[in-house]
Amino acid sequence: MLKPKFSAIIVSVAIAFPASISYAQTAVKIDPKAEQTLQQMTNFLKQQKSFRFQADITIDEVHSSGQKIQYAAKADFRVLRPNRIRADYQGDRRQVNFYYDGTNFTMQEVNKNLYATAAAPSNIDSLIDELQDRYDINLPMGDLISTDIYETAEKKFTSASFIGLSSINNVACNHLAFTTEEIDWQIWIKAEGEPLPCKFIITYKKEAQSPQYTAILSNWDFSALSANDPQFSFTPPANAVKIQFLPNSAASSSSKTTGESQ
C-alpha cells in the first residue's frame, strides 16, 4: 500500500442525526468484539497455504490547489506460503507487476517496459519488511498476506469499535473501525462462514484533505498453487530495460509510491 502500512492503522465513529438533535460522543476505546473479529480474520488468512483474490481500488490524490482527485485500479494477487507472490496491478495511469519466487523479487513497470530485480529473503513476512526498510516500497496488500498483521496492528490501536452488520456486494459483513495516532481505518469482514475481508478504507487524517484509500476484495480462491508455477518467476520481455531499486535513503517520493500509485 501507499504511505503508512495497513498494520499501522485502524475510526472513531461520528453519526449524523437530524438537525435539531445532537449527541456528544465520548472517545471510543477498545471494544473486545472488534479485536476478536479482526483476529479471527487474520488467523484464518495466515493459516491458508495458498490463495488468490482480486481488489478494486480507489485512491485519493490531493493536488496543490487542494482539489482531491480519485483514481482507480484493479489488482490480482496470488500467494503461496512461505515464499511465492504474484501481483498484477492495473491503475488509471500505470501498470505494475510484482514477482517473488523465493529467491528474487522483481517489480515490472509494464507501460514503460522497465523492471528492477533484487535478491529477496526466504519468506513473505521478511520480504515485506525488507522492501519497506531498504527501498521504502510498500507491497500492495502486503499486510493482508503477512502472518503477523494482528500482532503488529494491535499494539498501535488507540480505539477499536464494532459498528455492526453491513452488506458489501450482497455479502453480510461485520463492520469494524479502528484508529491509531496517524490513520483511521475501517474494515468489513464476512459475517458467516470463512471470515474473509471484503472491504477496507484507510483515511490519512494527518495529511491535507484527509485522502482515502479504498479496496473492495473479491473472488477469493484457496485452490492449491505450485511452487514451480512459472507465474511466480519473471522473464524479461523483449527490449525491456533493467534498472535498479533505489535504497531507502535515496528514494524519491515517486519511488516510495511505486507499489500503488495510479
**Tens-digit pLDDT profile for residues 168-183:** 999 999 999 999 999 9
As given in the structure block, the three cell numbers for residue 171 are 455479502
CATH architecture of the domain with residue range 52-256: Clam (2.50)
State residue 151's pLDDT score.
Answer: 80
For the segment 146-175, what is each residue's pLDDT rounded down to a tens digit?
988 788 777 788 999 999 999 999 999 999
What is the bridge-based pairing of β-strands 68-80 and 212-221? unpaired
Could you state, in order of their start, the residue ranges of all structural domains in the chain?
A: 52-256
As given in the structure block, the three cell numbers for residue 126 are 521478511
State residue 175's pLDDT score.
Answer: 99
Question: What pairs with residue 168 in β-bridges?
Answer: 171
214 touches 193 (CB < 8 A): no
The owner of cell 500509485 is 261
Residue 239 CA, distance from chain mean position: 32
The sign of the torsion formed by the CA atoms of 254, 1, 47, 158 equals: positive
- Check pLDDT > 90 for residue 249: no
Minimum mean pLDDT among 10-24, 194-208, 222-236: which range? 10-24
d(CA 244, CA 238): 18
Task: State the amino acid at position 28 in one-letter form.
Answer: V
